[in-house]
Amino acid sequence: MHEAHPRPATFCHSGPLCGTFRVPGDKSISHRALMLSALAVGESRITGLLEGEDVLSTAAAMRAMGATIHQTGEGCWTVYGVGVGGLMQPAGALDMGNSGTSTRLLMGLVASHRLTATFIGDASLSKRPMGRVIDPLSLMGAEFNASPGGTLPLMVHGLVPAIPIQYRLPVASAQVKSAILLAGLNTPGITEIIEPVPTRDHSERMLHGFGADLTVEVDGNGTRTIRLIGEAELKPQIIDVPGDPSSAAFPIVAALITPGSEVTITHVGMNPTRTGIYRMLEAMGADLTYANQREVGGEPVADITARHSILRGIEVPPDIAPSMIDEFPIFFVAASVAQGRTITSGLEELRVKESDRLALMAAGLTAVGAQVEERADGLIINGTGGENLAGGVTIKSALDHRIAMSFAVAGQRCTHNVTIDDVSPIATSFPNFEAMLSAMTTPLSAPAKAVVDL
């Protein structure tokens, strides 16, 4: 895994970005496509799968529990599922690498199977809280031996038959919701989840597509009640995974903040539970257009064009946070070069991602010359008004792909080079990020590039 071989890289002030590109498949959908295909009876085919390290950790774990999974081409995979209830005892520990989604969702799957699994991960993942899934899964009857603080390494002993629960999510987390739903698949009766603040709904959409009996009721306050009838039989599917809107945000922000740029990212997932970043950038004055809007495999998709824009600071409403939770690092970069002040709050969750993203973004942006105030639950940023940041520093990526990619983009708006001590974590979610960024970037003083496809 990337941890063993740190790879530094340097990013410098660039000219305009241009061209048409497609980013890799959506990470959340890719994990779920592998897991649900592995639980269907028969052969599913997936195209556009993200072949990043996080998703490969999920594939390896599903294989270790009995599914047959083959790569048949670039992004094309075939999965022969074992059926709900058919997962087998893995021979060794399940190595989740850097991936919180793999860990929490698979803990849910194991919880209602008659097997015991040990989950291990890298130094970043081993610090992340698992109590949030241990609590509801314990109510369903699973037993856990976790490291102090409810962290990895941890062992899950599943229970068959598990006990159906009604659970109100105490934290806005699609991973917790999905862990309970996946446990509920092999649980007799109705598993009910009450979600006061909506989070990404890929699990619900895909479970429905695989034939599970799942309903979602939304009340007048926007609270969602999700009911799943257990002991489901899932039918194999053909799945086309859209491009990841979280990955697309990096080149799109790079284009918005760099004079003369125009970049199109095709086939991007536009699920409204994921697109808060685009709504907030538009509120700042971003010139974004959406073409070719369509539906692919139950998910809305569009081609997004971003043109350089004069961005103005805004106050981000805290209730939008779940729909742009992974995009705050790159959003903070955009705010650093906008006109005026950007205020964010309600972002405590950012402190328990691959790194403490509030602390690292505040420290890194301050080091490159931005004006940032760190609060307990957000950042307040006074932008440069379109002027360059200073740069001339080395940033620690702390095993966090989104910190590394954010400072790669920031480096393009810095007068002096920005070095990132280790860009290898980018391979968890966006393996060709550096190649794509360099293909779309015109070096300063060079003539503008012709449109290229990567």
Ligand X SMILES: C=C(OP(=O)(O)O)C(=O)O
Q: Which residues are annotated as a binding site?
A: 27-28, 32, 100, 128, 173, 175, 326, 353, 357, 402
Quick check: 200 binds ligand X (CB under 6 A)? no
CA distances 291 to 37, 301, 302, 304, 436, Å, are 31, 9, 6, 6, 21
Q: Which residue has the tokens 């009995």?
A: 66
Among 14, 57, 429, 441, binds ligand X (CB under 6 A): 429
Binding residues for 3-phosphoshikimate: 27-28, 32, 173, 175, 326, 353
**What residue 429 binds from ligand S3P, ligand X, none (CB within 5 to 8 A, per partner kind)?**
ligand X
Angle at 407 between CA 406 and CA 408, to 5 degrees: 90
Residue that has been written with the tokens 């690092």 in this structure: 329
Interface residues toward ligand S3P, by CB under 6 A = 28, 101, 173-175, 178, 200, 325-326, 349
Of the candidate residues 95, 195, 201, 326, the single one contacting ligand X (CB under 6 A): 326
328 is written with which tokens? Answer: 């705050």
Least CB distance to ligand S3P at residue 292 (A): 25
- Whether the upstream peptide bond of residue 8 has omega within 30° of 0, thus cis, is no
**Which one of ligand S3P, ligand X, none interacts with residue 174, CB within 5 to 8 A by kind?**
ligand S3P
Question: Position of tokens 């991936």?
Answer: 99
Are the beta carbons of 118 and 158 closer than 8 angstroms? no
The one among 44, 101, 323, 397 contacting ligand X by CB under 6 A = 101
Residue with smaller CB distance to ligand X, 82 or 405: 405
Contact range with ligand X by CB under 6 A, out of 40-48, 97-105, 250-258, 300-308: 97-105
Q: Cα–Cα distance between 151 and 454 in angstroms, integer?
A: 40
Compute the distance between CA of residue 382 and CA of residue 335 in angstroms, rounded to an integer: 7
What are the two backbone dihedrals, phi and then psi, of residue 322, each rounded to the nearest 5 degrees?
Answer: -60, -30
CA atoms of 437 and 17, how far apart (whole Å): 8
Q: Which is nearer to ligand S3P, 225 or 273 (CB)?
A: 273
For ligand S3P, give the closer residue by CB, 340 or 431: 431
Q: Which does 402 bind (CB under 5 to 8 A by kind): ligand S3P, ligand X, none?
A: ligand X
Candidate list 200, 205, 267, 402; residue touching ligand X; CB under 6 A: 402
- Biggest distance spanned by C-alpha atoms of the chain: 67
Contact 225, 190 (CB under 8 A): no
Residues placed in the known binding site for phosphoenolpyruvate: 27, 100, 128, 175, 357, 402
Q: By beta-carbon distance, which residue lies closest to ligand X?
A: 100
Q: Quick check: 99 binds ligand X (CB under 6 A)?
A: yes
Which residues between 337 and 356 bind ligand X (CB under 6 A)? 353-354
**Nearer residue to ligand S3P within complex by CB, 186 or 199:** 199
For ligand X, the closer CB: 354 or 422: 354
Residue 139 carries which side chain, given as an amino acid letter?
L
CA 64, 68, 72, 77 dihedral sign is negative
Which residue stretch of 44-52, 96-104, 294-302, 374-382 sits at the interface with ligand X (rule: CB under 6 A)?
96-104
Q: Which residues are catalytic?
A: 326
d(CA 147, CA 152): 6
**Whole-number Å distance between alpha carbons of 431 and 435:** 9
The rounded distance, in Å, linking the Cα atoms of 237 and 209 is 8
Nearest residue (CB) to ligand S3P, 169 versus 263: 169
Burial 391-415 (b: 16+ CB within 10 A, else e): bebebbbbbbbbbbbbbbbbbbbbe
Q: Considering CB distances under 5 to 8 angstroms, the limit depending on partner class, which of ligand X, ligand S3P, none binds residue 191?
A: none
Q: What minimum distance in Å lies between the beta carbon of 325 and ligand S3P? A: 5
Please state the closest distance from residue 31 (CB atom) to ligand X, in A: 8
Give the binding site for ligand X (CB under 6 A).
54, 99-101, 326, 353-354, 402, 429
